[in-house]
A = this chain, B = another copy of it.
């Protein structure tokens, strides 16, 4: 519950002073983009669902693409935040504590679990549209390489030195860990969200799977 809701934040008149109509536009755009994709969403449809004239959209956003970017960009920042803002994670990084690998993975999973759970439509848009918009790819790559990867490498190497995990290449360990976590979240929230999930149990299994998969023997 530490993270705020992105949609709220995206529209909150507190941060940037959005007019009520502008907020409605963002809300409608997020909904429809997630439903049918950016390319097959028309500005007239967004206007209709937002209860706004079509011209109002273009008063606030020069192009349809600018509207997309203004929706997707904040997500990417939020995606990076926990890696340099979360208290616990920073503790693990800073302290010479190499005992709580389980705790770290657990924290990481739950962290991302709540993030995705609260922002399913936005995550959906991010995943879908990254494939086709080079600018989004570049933005994401830059953020990942600068903010996320270095921190990740730090921890992994610490645990490697402490001989808690296997001596795989650091990149490989990161890849295996991330795909397992992301794989769970994508399966849980995007592919089979209607399955009767026992989330706590499933996360427990996933943590064990990662820990044993990487455990030094």
Tell me the A residues contacting B by CB distance below 8 Å.
Answer: 36-37, 39-40, 124, 128, 131-132, 166, 168-169, 172, 175-176, 178-180, 182-184, 186-187, 202, 205-206, 208-210, 212-215, 217
Contact = CB atoms under 8 A, between A and B. Distances in A.
A33 to B, nearest CB: 11
26 contacts: A36-B132, A37-B39, A37-B131, A40-B132, A124-B131, A128-B131, A166-B208, A169-B205, A172-B202, A172-B205, A175-B183, A175-B187, A176-B180, A176-B209, A178-B183, A179-B180, A179-B186, A179-B187, A180-B180, A182-B183, A208-B213, A209-B214, A210-B213, A212-B213, A212-B215, A212-B217
Nearest to A215: B212
Chain B CB within 10 Å, residue with most, of A37, A213, A214, A217:
A213
* Most B Cβ at <10 Å: residue of A175, A205, A210: A175
Contacts of A172: 202, 205
Given A39-B39, A179-B187, 18 more contacts: A36-B132, A37-B37, A37-B132, A40-B132, A124-B131, A128-B128, A128-B131, A172-B202, A172-B205, A176-B180, A179-B184, A179-B186, A182-B183, A209-B214, A212-B212, A212-B215, A212-B217, A213-B213
Contacts of A184: 175, 179
Contacts of A168: 205
Contacts of A37: 37, 39, 131-132
A145 B168 CA distance: 35
A214 to B, nearest CB: 7
